[in-house]
Amino acid sequence: MSKLKKTIGIVIAAAFLLGCQSSKSKLREQIVLLENEMSAEYDVKKAEKLSFLYQEYIAKFPQDSMVIEYLFKSGEINISLRRGSEALSDFTTLIDKFPQSPHIAEACYYRAYVYEDIIYDIEAAKASYNEFINRFPDHQLVKDAALSIQYLGMSPEEIVASFEQKEDAAE
């Protein structure tokens, strides 16, 4: 009787693992399909669905190698959807849990950008831009971060006026 129970247990475990693999494969297929559709034409509804699929995958398969990529992509989509807290969550999770990610520098920069442009928390944006500059001083986005710090809290009109003042002073 114990051999039968053991065999049944193995069969159930195998079926469960196959079901998980099947679920993972189906979810990945849905993501790839939607990513391809989005690359052809941006659509808000599809972006929302893709963001949901990324989060579902991350929640169901937190140890999978694709989680890093999906966290980053989810953050980018949440920026495009103007979902500041969701984007911050994605980038912060990526930064904290996956510090060796190839996207870590961009995630730090985007986190600062979200604070600046979506959440309008100027102090958090300044701190995040400075953190980015200090951590990645040779990154191609450092000049952008420095300019963002310089113009934080200014309206577009104030920024234009500051450019005009610099031009006048140069003449």
| pLDDT tens, residue by residue, 79-95 | 999 999 999 999 999 99
pTM for the predicted model, two decimal places: 0.81
Chain segment 108-167, per-residue pLDDT in tens: 999 999 999 999 999 999 999 999 999 999 999 999 999 999 999 888 888 888 888 877
Closest CA to 67 of 81, 77, 53, 80: 53
> How many Cα atoms sit within 13 Å of 21 on the Cβ side?
6
Class of domain 60-170: mainly alpha
Here the tokens at position 60 are 């169901």
* 121/119 Cα distance (integer angstroms): 6
Domain boundaries, the chain: 60-170
